[in-house]
Chains A and B, each alone.
Chain A
Amino acid sequence: MAATETQLMLSVGLIEKDVNGDTLWVWCYPSVSSDLRQVLLSKCCLTQDSRDFHTFVFGQFCRTWFYISTVEVQEPTALNKVTHFSIVVTAKDFNPEKYAALSRILCRMYIKHGSPVKMMEAYVTVLTKGICQSDENGSFLIKDYDIRKAFLAGSVKDVVSQFGLETIILYTALMLKKRIVVHHPRIEALLEFTRVLPTLTWHRKDWSILHPYVHLTDTELEDLKKCPGYVAGFVDPEVSNRSDLFDVYVNLPDSVITVSQSAKGMFKEKAVCF
């Protein structure tokens, strides 16, 4: 199984922020299309004006999962003129823990050696052999990170305790493959909550409907609209005005679920999709 699983990794990229305040996409292997590159740059917290620093974020775009870890460079280091950098790993599968661990190893290697070559060696070894040495004692093994563990990592009990009886609305929407939009100003809370929702339809084991980190840009929204039903997470509060994007709107900080006008009939619908 290791062979097929390693084919899931698509690319690794490097974004640096330097002393001039510029954030640049400096390196990637093997290659990343310019659309995806734009999206990844916008997701990386280094390009955003706010000073929030998110260590690890992930999301989906064009059926590709991306995982971004950001590190602040501390002195002494082999890197000069770099204040922060992010490592982006794109893959076909959803497994945040695995890629978070991998990115951590790659980050440490980059800081230590100051050149992406070493980092690439590690990446290639993971790609070919499924294992790589890490700086901590022990090594990184792909088979330690089973995908089912990723599916189960979130806690459904928390969702139910937060929303109580209204969880039925979410369950119905998911069963009927409706569009759910979740909003929370903090990305970490958003990621944590949205990754749990597909667990409610466990029989499908389909996490491709999950788009946990979306911005209100045309490219991303177009990609989103291609899916008939999805769970999308937005940090931007403006999304509450975009009633064309959702059937169910979840305001996470206030714990309020709103069903849009056009979707109020879904409770009466007789067709149920499996």
Chain B
Amino acid sequence: MEEVDKILIHALKQVGTEVSEETGSVRQFSSELIVEAVVRCVRVIDPGLGGALPTSLPPGMSARFRVGMSLAQACQDIGYKGEIGYQTFLYSNEPEIRSLLMFLVEKLPRESAEASDQPQGKSAVMQRAIAAAIRAQLSVPWLPPNCRLPLHSQTQSPGALHSFHVQRLSLAHCSPGKKPLKEVKDYLRDILPPVTAQPSHHASVVASILEQHTAELSAAQEWDSEWNSQGLLSRLKPQEYRSRKLTRLRKRIEEQLRSAALPSPESASGGPRPTGDLSELLQTEPSTSIPFVHQSDSDVQLRQQEEQLSLQEQQLCSEVDQLTADMKHMIVTHAQVLDELKQRELGNSEKEEKMQVKKKTIDLLPDSDDNLQKLKALVEASAKRVVHLASQWEKHRAPLIDEHRRLKEICSRQDLESSQKLSEIKSVHDKIRVSTEEAKKKEETYKQLVTELENLPQDASRSAYTQRILEIVSNIKKQKEEITKILSDTKDLQKEINSLTGKLDRTFAVTDELVFKDAKKDESVRKSYKYLAALHENCNQLIQTIEYTGTILREIRDLEEQIETENGSKTVANLERILSDYKAIRQENSALAAKVREG
């Protein structure tokens, strides 16, 4: 019961009821406290209903009576199904109050539903804060510059805006494994200004830092992805891979530059033509530079010179044409002659060879048959020797070729294995990445939950309640078991009683008959028959008395329980209060009646 009361008190405190620290259970609630608590709850549950109700009981009895009635009506409107009336508030009763308060507390709306829907996480919290700040700023109406209060200067005047200027920052880079020089360290420590002081304009600090950071982050990510996809495949160390890539890029740049520079030699070959025209132009230049004073004479002279020059030009052109034709002819003949020369040379070499052979044959001719035989034998011998050499070579060659092939097989197999291992490495890398991300996320949520846990109100501890609930459940289970055991025992006993009663009746019937039969003849048997009957009767009475005692004991227990419950409802105190209130009401009535009679 204490836990329930604690929960109720906690909930009422949250609603706004001022409950002092000493009140530990509902039993100690006074009527005023009850009324205040109920009114506040009703106000939260249904503001329309609760607005009309006062939180404290007025002094006048009839007013109190009225407040009690309206409160009871309000509770019934909300949906309380139990019996409720003004007496519940004025002459309170612990169980009734408890049930009413529990009903009202359950009806209180839950505020936590809204917050738990949204995703947790530091970034989500920050985003929500940003959204709330922007919403607040947007809700403030725009005012012309003259009317602006200092409150608006941050958000509405353009002074707050800065353009995104980025400046290069010098940061201390330490490559892993290489210790920086002492001078570098000194420079970094003493002379290099901090990052916030490096940009020339204070406003570009944020922009520069953002830019630097994003550049480094994206470079690291790109390197990671490239290394994981191509770098591992190339089976080189990172530095080797990087240097190879550098040389490759340089080569490409050179090729591009070369191909771009190529067209210029072609244009250079077109150069001589314009200069030829230029020289002609320059030659004709002097004719135009003659001063205009002697115009008529100079005109005639000019024309004469022009004619001469054009004649010369024509002559030169014809000479050039002839020369080109000659040249072409010469080229053709030259080619022909070269060709003939080559062929003759080839023919010469062939003829020389033939001549050598013929010379040798002529030398051998005198003794032709013999020499022929000898030659044939020689040829055969050398052929045999060559074949023998070939077989010897084959003996050497075959194992070498086999060895080569075998090693190639091993090599390809190893290649296969290494590529398999590479793919395994890749998958392991992926797994590592995934698990690091998960670990990060879990750490974040853990930190966040820890902070939330610290921030939670410490009054109502759920674990204690859940413990108690579990204990109660186990107790109930045990009790249920015991009850079933007792029930089964009772059943057995009842069965035994029934069987014994039956046995008894049967035995008595048989004995009765037997004895009665003999009772007619014998006197002692008659006496024993009388005793038997009396015994039977007395035993019956005994049994009845025992049953009666049992019933009475049960009634006693029930009555005791009722007495306890009645005692709990402090009826006596309430009766006294009712009497006193009744007297007070009667007095008020008589006072009012007197007033009415007077006025």
Which 7 residue pairs of A and B lie closest in terms of their CB atoms, listed nearest first? A20-B408, A117-B391, A124-B383, A120-B390, A128-B379, A117-B390, A271-B332
C-alpha spacing A124/B389, complex, angstroms: 13
Contact (Cβ within 8 A) B401 A115: no
Name which residue of chain A comes closest to B338, CB basis. Answer: A228
Determine if B437 is an interface residue (Cβ-Cβ < 8 Å). Answer: no
Interface size for chain A: under 10, 10 to 19, 20 to 34, or 35 or more residues? Answer: 20 to 34
C-alpha spacing A125/B384, complex, angstroms: 10
Decide yes or no: A26 and B338 within 8 Å by CB, A20-B405, A117-B387 being known contacts. Answer: no
Q: Which residues of B contact A (CB under 8 A)?
A: 329, 332-333, 335-336, 338-339, 354, 357, 379-380, 383, 386-387, 390-391, 394, 397-398, 401-402, 404-405, 408-409, 412
List residues of chain A with CB within 8 A of the CB of B383: 124-125, 128
Contact (Cβ within 8 A) A177 B339: yes
Name which residue of chain B comes closest to A21, CB basis. Answer: B412
Determine if A218 is an interface residue (Cβ-Cβ < 8 Å). Answer: no
CB of B349 to closest CB in A, whole Å:
11
CB of A263 to closest CB in B, whole Å:
13
C-alpha spacing A220/B329, complex, angstroms: 30
Determine if A135 is an interface residue (Cβ-Cβ < 8 Å). Answer: no
Determine if A53 is an interface residue (Cβ-Cβ < 8 Å). Answer: no
The A interface, classified by DSSP as helix, strand, loop or mixed, is: mixed
Determine if A165 is an interface residue (Cβ-Cβ < 8 Å). Answer: no
Contact (Cβ within 8 A) A20 B409: yes
Name which residue of chain B comes closest to A176, CB basis. Answer: B332
Decide yes or no: A26 and B397 within 8 Å by CB, A20-B409, A124-B386, A128-B379 being known contacts. Answer: yes
List residues of chain A with CB within 8 A of the CB of B354: 4
List residues of chain A with CB within 8 A of the CB of B391: 115, 117
Q: Which of A127-185 contact B (CB under 8 A)?
A: 128, 177
* Most chain A CB neighbours (cut-off 10 Å) among B336, B339, B390, B402: B390
Contact (Cβ within 8 A) B386 A120: yes
List residues of chain A with CB within 8 A of the CB of B387: 117, 120-121, 124
CB of A59 to closest CB in B, whole Å:
19
Determine if A1 is an interface residue (Cβ-Cβ < 8 Å). Answer: no
List residues of chain B with CB within 8 A of the CB of A26: 397, 401
Known: A20-B405, A128-B383, A269-B332. 15 other contacts (CB 8 A): A4-B357, A18-B405, A22-B405, A29-B386, A81-B402, A116-B394, A117-B387, A120-B386, A121-B387, A125-B383, A128-B380, A177-B339, A228-B338, A228-B339, A271-B333
C-alpha spacing A4/B397, complex, angstroms: 33
C-alpha spacing A116/B389, complex, angstroms: 12
Q: A245-274: contact bitstring with B at CB < 8 Å (1 yes, 0 no)?
A: 000000000000000000000000101010
Determine if A202 is an interface residue (Cβ-Cβ < 8 Å). Answer: no
Could you list 12 A-B pairs, sorted by A, with CB under 8 Å? A19-B405, A20-B409, A20-B412, A26-B397, A27-B397, A29-B386, A81-B405, A116-B390, A117-B394, A120-B387, A228-B335, A271-B336
